[in-house]
Each structure stands twice: as C-alpha cells, then as structure tokens.
A and B are shown apart, each in its own frame.
Chain A
Amino acid sequence: MKRLLLQALGIVIISGIIGIGANVFRADGIPLVERWQEKVLNEELAAGLPAVSLAQAREAFASGDVLFVDARDPVFFQLGHIPGAVNLPVKDFDLVFSELEERLLSVGMVITYCDGASCEMSVELTEKLLMAGLDRVAVFTGGMQQWRAEGQPVEEGPGSTEQ
C-alpha cells in the first residue's frame, strides 16, 4: 500500500517537474498564471464585437441619445452606476429584457458595461442584445472602474426604470 502511494506520488511529482521544465524551455511555453477572463474578453472584442472607449462613452453620455445598460447584479448597480443607466443583469436577461425592451429599442444607441476589463458580463450582454435584434449596441470595456477613475459622475440607488 505504501509502495503504491509512493509510486503514484512519484509519478505526480516527476510529471510536474517535466511539464514545468519543458514549458520553460520551449519557445511556445505559456505563463504559469494567466488572467483568462481578461484574455477571452479581449479575444471576443478582437473578433469584432463593437466596443467604445472611455472618451466615446463620455461623449455619448453628454449627447444624451444613449442608454447605458449595467450588466452587473443589482447590488453592485445600486452601489454606483453611470447616471441614467438601467440595470439588466446578464444572469436574469430573459426575465428583465422584456421589461426594458421598448426602451432599449427607442434609443439611438445602447452601451453596455460592467466592472471593467476583467469582467465578461458586458460582453455577454452585448451578444445577447445583438441576438435579441438590437443593432446599435456597443460595449464600454473600461466599465465602472475606468468611469470612476476618470472622475465621471456616478449615481447610487436603484435607478430609474421609467422612460
């Protein structure tokens, strides 16, 4: 029994050493730790999902003909969101979308966001909105983190659901 466990442990350790060693020396080795969420998000954006920068988001905000849609959970939305934004948590999309559909269709442009570059919810929400038939949708990848960092106005509370 002891021999069995020692052999198994030996195999586990030896493979780990070979694996990490080979990874260090090979040209196409990968980092030991990688920020996957961010990476996948960037890949999706690179694949052609419409995105806006902070400057574009600010401009759209000033123009007024845009509806910001917050993809986070209501708790985070209430702690602070872009003024005038509506909350459409991506996990409750089917439930909440119908309530907001008319309003989303009536505006010139919809911009989605979540926390920032490391969250995927806004990208998912954008994909869902595009699939639901909205055509003028873009994702603000900087999200609340960038919005706050640049000193942009933030609104707290449940926000308005009226038109």
Chain B
Amino acid sequence: MNSTVEKRPLSFWLTHPYLVFSGRVLLGTVFVYASLDKIRHPELFAEAVYNYQLLPEVAVNLVAIWLPWLELVSGGLLLLGLWVRGSILVLSGLMVIFLGSLGINLARGLDIYCGCFSTHAAEPMTILTLIRDAVFLILALYLFWLYQIRGIENRFSLGRVGRRE
C-alpha cells in the first residue's frame, strides 16, 4: 500500500470527483430507468398508485401522469449535470415520500405490488424494498451534502461544455 494513500483524509475520498460522478450517474440512472415502464403503461401505474391507498381518488391519476416524468426529468438532469442541486432536492424528496409510502403500507400489512421499477406484477413489496430505497435516499442525501453544503464544483457537466478556459 502506498503511504500517501493512507494519509488522505476521508473527506478527500468522499469528495473525489470520480466518486461524486459515479454517485450522480447511479442515482440518475436509477430514476430514469424507474420512470420508463411507468411512462409506457400509465394505466397500470395509476392502478399501482391507487393500490397504495394513500391518496384521495381525485389525485391518483394526476400523480400517475406526473410522477414518472418528474423522475425522468430530474434523473436526466442529474445525469447531464444540469440543475444538479435542484434535481438532487427533488430526488431526495421523492425518496422520502417513497420510503414513507412503503413503510406505511408494510406496517398496514397491505399485500400490494411495489410498482417501483415495473408496473407489472411480480415486484412484491418487502422489507428489502425498504432497505433498497433507504440506500438510494442515503445516496441522494450524500450528493445533497456535497453540492449544497460543501459546495463542490460541478464537474462532468453538460453545462460546462464550451465554457472551458
């Protein structure tokens, strides 16, 4: 092992541009991927939203129409490195809402499908789903900490193209 590597503080690694970029790509990809099937099958997704039994009847379809695009737009912007802080805030908010909805329905013992990545059946909601979403929330909060609180430079961004020098 190289001694200079060992001497680096943890914050060096946590703010390393490659790690930050990887985190951004991972979270962005997750959300873009999660939105595609929902956009493709609006009616099935609306049914999944209804099955959560958390929203008033009038709000079900509006949320089902709007939510997948919110995931796609914010995930896409995060991937491109544009409006990064705003995207991270939206994605963190979504993760909190998803975790809350999953938690409430797991506690209620409701036997429904997750509808997280696929609108089709065979995606049951379990404690593992909750853990998975918690990991995504931690990733979102980590990125929020980096960009909003530590104020790190936004590298690998489409917004920087042509602005060099």
Contact = CB atoms under 8 A, between A and B. Distances in A.
Contact of B90 (A6, A12, A20, A31): A12
Chain A at the B interface: mostly helix, strand, loop or mixed? Answer: helix
B50 A36 contact: yes
B29 interface: no
Shortest 7 CB-CB contacts between residues of A and residues of B: A7-B86, A19-B69, A15-B70, A15-B69, A8-B86, A19-B66, A8-B89
Interface stretch (B3-11, B55-63, B96-104, B134-142): B55-63
* A contact residues, range: 20 to 34
B68 interface: yes
B83 A11 contact: yes
Contacts, number: 84
Contacts of B62: 32-33
Interface in B74-111: 74, 77, 83, 85-87, 89-90, 93
Interface string B42-64: 11001000100000011011101
Interface stretch (A21-29, A58-66, A81-89, A139-147): A21-29
Given A15-B74, A28-B43, A7 B89 contact: yes
Chain B at the A interface: mostly helix, strand, loop or mixed? Answer: helix
Contacts of B74: 11, 15
A108 interface: no
Given A4-B89, A30-B65, 5 more contacts: A7-B89, A11-B73, A23-B42, A31-B61, A34-B61
A11 B43 contact: no
Given A4-B89, A29-B42, A18 B57 contact: no
